[in-house]
Structure 1
Amino acid sequence: MKRMMVHCGPGSTEIALLENGKLVEYAAERSQHRGLVGSFIKGKVVNVIPGMQAAFVDIGQKKNAFLYIDDVLHPHLEKQPKQKPSIALLLKPGQELVVQVVKEAIGNKGARVTTHYSLPGRWIVYMPTSGYVAVSKKIGREEERYRLKMLGEELREEEEGLILRTVADEEDGEAIGDDLAQLRKQWAAILEKAKHAAAPVVLHQDLSMIQRLMRDVYSPETDELIMDCPEQAEEALAFLQAMLPGETPRVIVHEGATPLFDHYEVKPQLEKDFQRKIWLPGGGYLVWDTTEALTVIDVNTGKFTGGDSLEDTVFRTNLEAAQEMARLIRLRDTGGIIIVDFIDMDSDEHRSDVCERLEQAMSGDRTQHHILGWTKLGLLEMTRKRMREENTVIS
């Protein structure tokens, strides 16, 4: 069971997602600082840098956006030239084009943009120019993967591309077709607006933080949404009813003197989980350090002494650490390069088991990630897609 909570404070909104009572996601959005990821913008090329195979595009922000050549070439790898041309042959200063933001501006870097357009719906991701069909890797059964693949091929037209999302598992073709029709309308509206608008201008913004969570995560059979703002609760209910016709979503308005996050003990979890030093249930602990280049997580036995031997104690602490850090990576929305310094293990089998535990624990993370394995120094390497600054708790 998932429980989604939304706290509407003065000038900000906070959301928390609990799975079986455990906090797994948190996000906060200032009212005046809505994110740009997913937005479509008509921009203007400011300069082209052949040596970097990149261009900088004015999208109306303080810093120009970065557009790499791979994001200009055809989105289908099979339709790209074997040798990349100079970006100067593809883009010229002053040229106007539609781009989509894939990464927020972080620190001194401007936003990252692409021309590989995608519009996410409830069941599918619509890619108007990609020319292929893919199925979520989290759908494991081959017969269902084949059914969805064939359905996608049947539904798409010409250069359209589709990704069948994990929630499309066992979904009927009519609902998926309706989702596609709605996304086609959105794309047509974006193109029509782009014809008449002067750059730089926002053509389309992705859903709000709350709506994205509902679209991507909410299941009417098992989940509930709890909000402490009646007006937004009404809007959320209307959104869910439109997205899930025939279902009866559970949207609850929290009332009473105790604040929402205090009533459901979310606040103590947040305070504990965003510390530099995080204690594990068995007595070990993690030390979490984030630099501009990467995040380093150090595992320590601490007060844990429950094993039959030193190797067993270390192994059990590392297993527990792998399980917990997967939750914390998702909760903190940690992105980029992540290096984990597990406690040294003598057994190759134990190292393999710890890596497998981490992979299993990360399987519920919707953000793209890759666990690369062990280095010669005994560190574990992984990467996770970074689209915005790492989460911090609004105090």
Structure 2
Amino acid sequence: MTTAIYASVLPFETRVAVREDDRLVELHVEREKERSIVGNLYKGRVSRVLPGMQAAFVDVGLERDAFLYVDDVGEALEEEDVDLQEVRAQTPIQDLLRPGQEILVQITRELGPSKGPRASSHITLPGRFLVFIPGSSHVGVSRRITDQKERERLRALLGELPKPGGVIVRTAGEGRSLADFEQDLAFLQATWEHIRQRWDTTAAPALLYSELDLLLRVARDVARDNVREFWVDDPGAFRRVVEFFQRVQPELVSTVKLYTRTTPMFFAFGLEEEISKALSPWVDLPSGGSLVIEQTEALVVIDVNTGRYAKGQDLEETVFHINLEAAREIPRQLRLRNLGGIVVVDFIDMEDPEHRNALLEAFRKELARDRARTLLGPVGPFGLVQLTRKRTSASLWKTLTTPCPFCQGLGRIKSPETVALDIYRLVLDRAQELGARVFAVRAHPEVVKLLKGDLAPLLQTLEQGYGLRVELAPGSDPHPAHFELIPKA
């Protein structure tokens, strides 16, 4: 598998696209006013302790307090799929924290405009090849490194490192040397010492350490030995990436290329069209089938359809083929759209147990390529497949769009027929209440056209059956469902 990275840097926005084997699999967007705070370390002050929830709210200087569970440790290691085996014994939150107490916390999730961020008191500092865990003695290797000999080699190398804290070998550490780990650990130790010094000299609440910006996070977490090219369209950003690789992985410096053409880079590489498709709920599959992806606050639902696929004579084989295509495409869409939380997939029903098992195995294999942690469940009693995907930031959909001013996020608005009937009923109600006999109605042109055309009998009924007259006129409000009803006499 080869990877290509494209970073487009503007004064107020940075976009980074990642292609694997020429297929767009990730798109990261960071805007200056909406920069991610995940990974940031704060000197906070406990504002409230909630024994009933075994949680606390911590003032970290943001608009909303951070939420901290008593057992909220190890969150930042989920990306590397590592289980911490040394978790402190359960102690009631009221015995650990008190209002006004100062505490060092790290943001692990951004939960949206209506909720505060999620925080952890278990601090982790990710480097290029290692995760450093201050105050811990844990030593481990990412479970994504599956070769047993390599795991043993890495554990032996970790045994040669100084032990100022816990360390975990990240996935990118596979195949690296002792010198690589020593350099990475020295940098992380220096970073931690700087944070400790700031703790001693800074009043709470305050930001002590800010995670790398998007450009360098991708350089650190995504760029591996399989990177074919790393395009950057801004000279200053280009130099930052080169300097970063010179410090942490010099062999990748040659992959960094400065884009200088006048055509915007994302247009030149065909990325803008792919991004537009990623905002659509419909996804075409190669053989003519399709996916429908619906995002809600509670969960993500993905439906698999046969579409126009018509190859073969056997229905079971046809369904199996389309489901396999969906199993390969859905993980890509989850990564590309940055969908997290609970995901429910409605594959097309299959009778053959071997086909169902093969489908789940193919699905699991594709999900394993995701850097975000995913947990796949069995097929449910109604044929649905459920999984969870770690969510740390807003989805692409929420990042690039805003709720529709007409439907307020519902996705649907009243039809012109419904609005016309609403007008009919409201005229009758207001006539009874106010005693008026003539009403001026200003509505959307489509509604006016309908009331003068196919639904004109409604106005005739008002006039002939109730003695009421309605004067229609197009309104100035662009909302298709809004209208104004004014009694005249």
Q: For residue 223 of structure 1, report the CA deviation from its aligned partner.
A: 2.3
Contact kept? 2:3, 2:226, Cα under 8 Å = no
Equivalent position to 1:164, from 169, 177, 199:
169
Instruction: State the SS of the aligned residue for 1:211.
Output: helix
Question: Aligned equivalents of 2:226 and 2:357: distance in 1?
Answer: 37
**CA displacement 1:122-154 (0-9 Å, x = unmatched):** 111111123211211221211110111222233
1:128 maps to a residue whose letter is: P
Contact kept? 2:14, 2:30, Cα under 8 Å = yes
Residue in 2 aligned with 1:125?
Answer: 131
Contact kept? 1:42, 1:200, Cα under 8 Å = yes
Q: Does residue 324 in structure 1 map to residue 329 in structure 2?
A: yes
**CA displacement 1:299-355 (0-9 Å, x = unmatched):** 000111223311111111000001001111011111111110101111111111111
Question: Aligned equivalents of 1:202 and 1:351: distance in 2?
Answer: 50
Question: Aligned equivalents of 1:153 and 1:212: distance in 2?
Answer: 28
**Matched ranges for 1:318-357 at <5 A:** 318-357=323-362
**CA displacement 1:191-247 (0-9 Å, x = unmatched):** 110111011111001111110111112235642111221121112111111112465
Work out the number of aligned pairs and report it. 391
Q: For residue 120 of structure 1, report the CA deviation from its aligned partner.
A: 0.6
Equivalent position to 1:310, from 309, 315, 321:
315
**CA displacement 1:130-181 (0-9 Å, x = unmatched):** 32112112212111101112222332526x2111112211211111111111
Residue in 2 aligned with 1:101?
Answer: 107
Equivalent position to 1:281, from 281, 286, 304:
286
Residues 345 and 180 of structure 1, relative CA distance in 2, 3 Å threshold: same
Q: For residue 290 of structure 1, report the CA deviation from its aligned partner.
A: 1.0
Find the structure with the greater CA-based Rg.
2
Question: Aligned equivalents of 1:19 and 1:157: distance in 2?
Answer: 37
Q: Does residue 301 in structure 1 map to residue 306 in structure 2?
A: yes
**CA displacement 1:19-40 (0-9 Å, x = unmatched):** 1211010011111221100010
Q: For residue 79 of structure 1, report the CA deviation from its aligned partner.
A: 5.0
Equivalent position to 1:144, from 150, 155, 158:
150
Q: For residue 284 of structure 1, report the CA deviation from its aligned partner.
A: 0.5
Question: Aligned equivalents of 1:326 and 1:247: distance in 2?
Answer: 27
Residues 312 and 64 of structure 1, relative CA distance in 2, 3 Å threshold: same
Question: Aligned equivalents of 1:246 and 1:320: distance in 2?
Answer: 36
Instruction: State the SS of the aligned residue for 1:193.
Output: helix
Residues 80 and 45 of structure 1, relative CA distance in 2, 3 Å threshold: same
Residues 174 and 293 of structure 1, relative CA distance in 2, 3 Å threshold: same
Q: What 5-or-longer segments of structure 1 have no aligned partner?
A: none
Higher alpha-carbon deviation: 20-29 or 248-257: 248-257
Residues 124 and 185 of structure 1, relative CA distance in 2, 3 Å threshold: same
Q: What 5-or-longer segments of structure 2 have no aligned partner?
A: 75-82, 402-489
Residues 78 and 203 of structure 1, relative CA distance in 2, 3 Å threshold: closer
Q: For residue 85 of structure 1, report the CA deviation from its aligned partner.
A: 2.6
Contact kept? 1:220, 1:249, Cα under 8 Å = no
Contact kept? 1:76, 1:130, Cα under 8 Å = no
Instruction: State the SS of the aligned residue for 1:256.
Output: coil
Question: Aligned equivalents of 2:120 and 2:87: distance in 1?
Answer: 17
Q: Which has the higher contact order (CA 8 A, sep 6+)?
A: 1
Q: Does residue 290 in structure 1 map to residue 295 in structure 2?
A: yes
**Matched ranges for 1:1-395 at <5 A:** 1-71=2-72, 77-81=85-89, 84-157=90-163, 160-219=165-224, 222-245=227-250, 248-392=253-397, 394=400
**CA displacement 1:92-128 (0-9 Å, x = unmatched):** 0000011000001324211000011111111111111
Question: Aligned equivalents of 1:208 and 1:32: distance in 2?
Answer: 13
CA RMSD of aligned residues (A): 1.8
Contact kept? 1:240, 1:249, Cα under 8 Å = no
Question: Aligned equivalents of 2:377 and 2:14: distance in 1?
Answer: 35
Contact kept? 1:39, 1:204, Cα under 8 Å = yes
Residues 36 and 98 of structure 1, relative CA distance in 2, 3 Å threshold: same
Q: For residue 61 of structure 1, report the CA deviation from its aligned partner.
A: 1.1
Q: Compute the TM-score of the two structures, normalised by the length of structure 1.
A: 0.95
Question: Aligned equivalents of 1:284 and 1:28: distance in 2?
Answer: 30
Q: For residue 78 of structure 1, report the CA deviation from its aligned partner.
A: 4.2
